[in-house]
Amino acid sequence: MTNFFLGLMAGCIIAGVVTITAARHPTVQLRLGLVPPAQAAVTPPPRPETTPQCPAPKAAMQVGKPEMLFSRSRLWSVAP
């Protein structure tokens, strides 16, 4: 009885996830009548290129200085 109940619950969860996933697809929405055909045919405008430009890495940066690890300002300054 417990196995049947657990299997039933798992099946319901899987069916719900599959249904929600399918309902989010635009062609399925159109077939089910969730959106009007005119709205489904409209394509969104292209997004402008908004990738942030990272600064170039500094080649002369030394790794492993004691000031990096034991800096008083780093250890004791806590932002609120």
Write out the residue range of the structural domain in which residue 36 sits. 1-41
- The answer to whether residue 55 is domain-embedded is no
pLDDT in tens, 38-65: 766 667 777 766 666 677 766 665 666 6
Determine how many CB atoms are found less than 10 A away from the CB of residue 29. Answer: 15
- The answer to whether residue 75 is domain-embedded is no
Q: Which amino acid type is present at position 20?
A: I
- pLDDT for the residue numbered 12: 97
Which stretches of 1-80 are assigned E, i.e. beta strand? none
pLDDT in tens, 23-35: 888 888 888 787 7
- The answer to whether residue 20 is domain-embedded is yes
- The answer to whether residue 54 is domain-embedded is no
CA distance 3 to 9: 10
**Count of domains in the chain?**
1
